[in-house]
Chain A
Amino acid sequence: MHLTDDNIFRVTESVWTLILGLELQRSGPPEPDRGTERTLLGSVQIAGAWEGAGQVQCPASLARRAAATMFGVAPEAVERDQIQDALGELANMIVGNLKAFLPQPSRLSLPTVVDGVGYTVRIPGSSREVARVTMRSGGEPLVVVVHTRSTPHRATPLERAARS
Chain B
Amino acid sequence: MKQGGGMSAADGAAFREVARELTGIALSPEKDYFVEGRLEAVARARGLSLGELAQAVRSAPRGALAQEVAEALLIAETSFFRDPGLFEVLRLQVLPELIAARRAERRLALWSAACATGQEPYSLALLLVEHFPELEGWDVDILATDLSQQALDYAASAVYTQHEVNRGLPARLLVRHFEREAMTWRPRSAVRRLVRFARVDLLRPLPPLPRMDLVLLRNMLIYHDVETKRGVLASVRGRMRSDGRLVLGSAETTLYLDAGFEPSPELGVYRVKDAPSEAPGGGAGGRPDAGAEALDRGPSAPREGVPAVDRGAPCI
Contact = CB atoms under 8 A, between A and B. Distances in A.
Q: Within 8 Å by CB, do A and B touch in the complex?
A: yes
Interface of A: 1, 7, 10-11, 14, 17-19, 21-23, 97, 100-101
B297 interface: no
B150 to A, nearest CB: 20
A62 to B, nearest CB: 16
Contact of B4 (A17, A97, A100): A17
Contacts of B162: 14, 97
Secondary structure of the B contact surface, majority rule: loop
B133 interface: no
Interface of B: 1-6, 161-163, 180-183
A122 to B, nearest CB: 29
A94 to B, nearest CB: 12
Contacts of A7: 182-183
Contacts of A23: 4-6
What 10 A-B pairs are tightest by C-beta distance, nearest first? Answer: A21-B2, A100-B182, A1-B182, A101-B182, A100-B183, A17-B4, A23-B6, A21-B3, A23-B4, A21-B1
A12 to B, nearest CB: 12
Nearest to B184: A100
Contacts of A22: 4-5
9 contacts: A7-B183, A10-B183, A14-B162, A14-B183, A17-B4, A21-B4, A22-B4, A23-B5, A101-B182
Contacts of B161: 14
Contacts of A19: 1
B8 to A, nearest CB: 13
A17 B162 CA distance: 14
Contacts of A100: 180, 182-183
B181 A1 contact: yes
Given A18-B163, A19-B1, A11 B6 contact: no
Contacts of B1: 18-19, 21
Contacts of A101: 182-183
A22 B6 CA distance: 9
B41 to A, nearest CB: 12
A11 to B, nearest CB: 7
A15 B283 CA distance: 53
B77 to A, nearest CB: 15
Given A14-B162, A14-B163, A97-B162, A21 B5 contact: yes
A101 B180 CA distance: 11
A97 B180 CA distance: 13
Contacts of A17: 3-4
Contacts of B3: 17, 21
A22 B180 CA distance: 27
Please indicate which of the listed interface residues A7, A11, A19, A100 has the most CB atoms of chain B within 10 Å of its own CB: A100
A43 to B, nearest CB: 21
Given A11-B183, A14-B161, A21-B4, 16 more contacts: A7-B183, A10-B183, A14-B163, A14-B183, A17-B4, A18-B1, A19-B1, A21-B2, A22-B5, A23-B4, A23-B6, A97-B162, A97-B183, A100-B182, A100-B183, A101-B182
A101 B181 CA distance: 8
A47 to B, nearest CB: 19
A22 B182 CA distance: 24
A97 B183 CA distance: 7
Nearest to B180: A100
A97 B2 CA distance: 21
B14 to A, nearest CB: 20
Contacts of B182: 1, 7, 100-101
A136 B182 CA distance: 24
A14 B180 CA distance: 17
Contacts of B2: 21
A18 B180 CA distance: 21
B209 to A, nearest CB: 38
Contacts of B6: 23
A22 B162 CA distance: 19
A89 to B, nearest CB: 14
A19 B3 CA distance: 9
Which of A14, A17, A101 has the largest number of chain B CB atoms within 10 A? A17
A100 B185 CA distance: 11
